[in-house]
């Protein structure tokens, strides 16, 4: 009798665990792939696939910085519509790369203006023509050269261009009241960066650009970056900008020393670490090494 009860109870327990596991699995798969994190009552970040999106929900308007891809941008739009009936006022692009601008098209007929640096617009058009994807673009209709600003709700939103870096058209987007800056791909937090030499990237200038940002903003500024390495946040500080600037400098130093030692490009690309910047690990080290090689060997 006891054995029968044991078997019966064990069976019920196993069945219960199986049901619980099914429910957990269902709950897991029903969770959206994207995440929204609020940095203030009105400013948040959206992550799913591609570069980080920042959004600002003002009293009467919504401003979005970067757009990822059409499907992920739509996820953000749907979520923001659940929270507010306010119209989209402005979409800003930090630079032209597809993981930041392909989603622009999802905002067509929703937002009256798209804003970016003038070089970013040129780069976006050039890439679209090359890829024959012009029909999939929503290009910026507003551009600037050095600085731009507009008051939206409580925030004064300012755009700054300090020179070539990740491309020749990267912007810092400063929400001054909250002291939050979206830096786009000017900071890869503990992740080896893509350096787009086809769009005017310059690693030496990039170091100077980051130094300028550190002196322009302050120690309390929150910086939102486009990408981060495993275990690292996309919300960073000026110390992270300084560390990334040091990393870029260390890449250039490494490649320069290898060139002086007579190493070939293939030999240089075999390096697995950047001396002095051990926190930058994982795949992709060949990207900055090759960019540094091109930069150093093309100079007179």
Q: What 3 state SS string does 169-195 have?
A: CCCEEEECCCCEEEEEEEEEECECCCC
CB 161 within 8 A of CB 146: yes
- pLDDT reported for residue 153: 97
Give CA–CA dist 152/269, Å, rounded: 47
**Strand pairing of 142-144 and 114-117?**
parallel
Contacts of residue 22, Cβ cutoff 8 Å, sequence gap at least 6: none
* Alpha helices per DSSP H over 84-154: 98-101, 118-131
Neighbours of 29 (CB within 10 A): 7
- pLDDT reported for residue 57: 97
- pLDDT reported for residue 299: 64
Reduced to 3 states (helix: H, G, I; strand: E, B; else coil), residue 184 is: strand
Mean pLDDT, contiguous 10-residue spans, the chain (300 residues): 40 39 40 90 97 97 98 97 96 98 98 98 98 97 98 98 98 98 98 98 98 97 97 97 98 98 97 97 95 90
- pLDDT reported for residue 26: 35
Give CA–CA dist 61/213, Å, rounded: 28
CA-closest candidate to residue 182, choices 296, 52, 11, 291: 52
CA-closest candidate to residue 269, choices 244, 245, 294: 294
Phi, psi values for residue 263, rounded to 5°: -75, 145
What the block records as the tokens of 289 is 């090494």
* Alpha helices per DSSP H over 217-285: 238-260, 265-268
CB 229 within 8 A of CB 282: yes
Which pTM does this prediction carry? 0.89
**Where is 155: in which H helix or E strand?**
strand 155-160
| Burial of residue 297, with CB atoms counted within 10 A of its CB: 0-12 exposed, 13-18 middle, 19 or more buried | exposed
Give CA–CA dist 176/233, Å, rounded: 21
- pLDDT reported for residue 4: 43
Reduced to 3 states (helix: H, G, I; strand: E, B; else coil), residue 36 is: strand
Give CA–CA dist 115/91, Å, rounded: 6
Q: Please name the residue that has the structure tokens 């989209």.
A: 88
Biggest alpha carbon–alpha carbon distance for the chain: 92
CB 138 within 8 A of CB 125: no
């Amino acid at each position: 009798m006891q054995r029968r009860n044991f078997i019966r109870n064990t069976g019920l327990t196993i069945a219960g665990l199986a049901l619980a596991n099914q429910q957990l699995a269902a709950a897991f798969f029903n969770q959206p792939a994207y995440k929204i994190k609020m940095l203030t009552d009105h400013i948040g970040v959206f992550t799913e696939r591609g570069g980080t999106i920042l959004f600002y929900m003002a009293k009467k308007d919504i401003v979005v910085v970067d757009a990822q891809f059409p499907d992920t941008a739509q996820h953000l739009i749907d979520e923001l519509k659940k929270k507010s009936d306010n119209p989209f006022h402005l979409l800003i692009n930090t630079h032209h790369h597809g993981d930041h601008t392909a989603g622009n098209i999802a905002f067509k007929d929703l937002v009256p203006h798209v804003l970016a640096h003038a070089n970013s617009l040129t780069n976006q058009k050039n890439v679209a023509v090359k890829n024959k994807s012009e029909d999939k673009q929503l290009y910026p209709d507003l551009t600037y050269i050095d600085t731009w600003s507009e008051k939206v709700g409580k925030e004064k939103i300012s755009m700054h261009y300090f020179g070539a870096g990740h491309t020749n058209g990267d912007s810092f987007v400063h929400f001054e009241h909250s002291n939050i800056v979206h830096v786009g791909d000017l900071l890869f937090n503990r992740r080896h960066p893509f350096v787009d030499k086809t769009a005017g990237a310059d690693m030496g200038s990039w170091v100077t650009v980051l130094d300028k940002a550190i002196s322009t903003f302050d120690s309390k500024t929150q910086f939102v970056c486009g990408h981060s390495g495993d275990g690292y946040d996309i919300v960073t500080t000026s110390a992270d900008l300084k560390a990334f600037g040091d990393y870029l400098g260390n890449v250039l130093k490494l490649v320069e020393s290898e060139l002086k030692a007579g190493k070939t490009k293939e030999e240089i690309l075999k390096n697995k670490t950047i001396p002095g910047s051990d926190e930058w690990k994982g795949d992709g080290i060949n990207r900055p090494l090759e960019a540094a090689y091109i930069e150093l060997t093309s100079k007179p």
